[in-house]
Amino acid sequence: MSAMRVSPFHGAPAVRDAHWSERNGMPVAFHLGDDDFARASILGLVDLSHLARTGFKGPGAAGWLEGLGFDLPPPNGWKPSTAGGLIARLATSEFFVEDVTGTGTVATIDRELAQLAEGVYPVPRQDAALALTGSRVNELLVQTCNVNFLDIGEQAVVMTLMIGVAVLVVRQTIGGLGCHRVWCDPSFAPYLWNTLTEIAGELGGGPVGARVLVER
């Protein structure tokens, strides 16, 4: 029996008393309190590390993905996937895929990657993943990174630093709510989460359960 995965944010003080629910082999802080939805309307931090994701790169990656019937995003852009998630293109020859509902797109791509197509190389994705949602998100972003997201297109992929941590950011709608998705190396996750929690608290928000975005 394989060991259960654990979110990089799992040990954060703000989620220790959460109501947990297993998803994709990982405990998820699904319910953090009766005020989850009210707090999320102001500024909510949601741990979505449990979502299925995969990656691949190489000189043949774009043609291979197109051959599977997927629409290619432009360089440094993304398109929605059929599983409610996204297919993001990092520069020109690397792709990042995540599902929100089910594991259809990720499972399909991982199955095809196992065939070892020429010029296509798997890139394991064990990212810490979170979402920022609410009316005061931009105030937090202004304090933590030097990108003006108000000037960024809806389907742009941004690679930048957030409080000194290298992150990948996109603007996405999940469960009918707009949010900024953030991915980072799991080794930096506790520092990122705790710092963002502190800043969000000063703005009237904080961590909320995953229920505000998924399986509503």
Phi, psi angle pair for 155, to nearest 5°: -120, 35
Contact 202, 54 (CB under 8 A): no
b (16+ CB within 10 A) / e for 184-210: bebebbbebbeebbebbeebebbbbbb
Contact 180, 141 (CB under 8 A): yes
Local confidence band at 16 (pLDDT 50, 70, 90 cut-offs): low
Distance CA 188, CA 173 (A): 25
Distance CA 170, CA 172 (A): 6
Residue 52, CA distances (Å) to 56, 100, 129, 134, 210 in order: 14, 7, 11, 24, 15
Q: Give the β-pairing of 53-57 and 94-98.
A: antiparallel
Q: Is residue 83 over pLDDT 80? A: no
pLDDT for 117-143, tens place per residue?
999 999 999 999 999 999 999 999 999
Distance CA 70, CA 144 (A): 34
pLDDT for 27-74, tens place per residue?
888 898 889 999 999 999 999 999 999 999 999 999 999 999 999 999
For domain 53-122, which architecture applies? 2-Layer Sandwich (3.30)
Question: Which two tokens mark 156?
Answer: 């742009």
Residue ranges covered by each domain of the chain: 13-49+127-211, 53-122
Residue 123, CA distances (Å) to 9, 61, 92, 208 in order: 22, 11, 15, 30
CATH code: domain 13-49+127-211 is 3.30.1360.120
- Percentage, residues of the chain above pLDDT 70: 95
Contact 209, 29 (CB under 8 A): yes
- Percentage, residues of the chain above pLDDT 90: 69
Whether pTM exceeds 0.75: yes
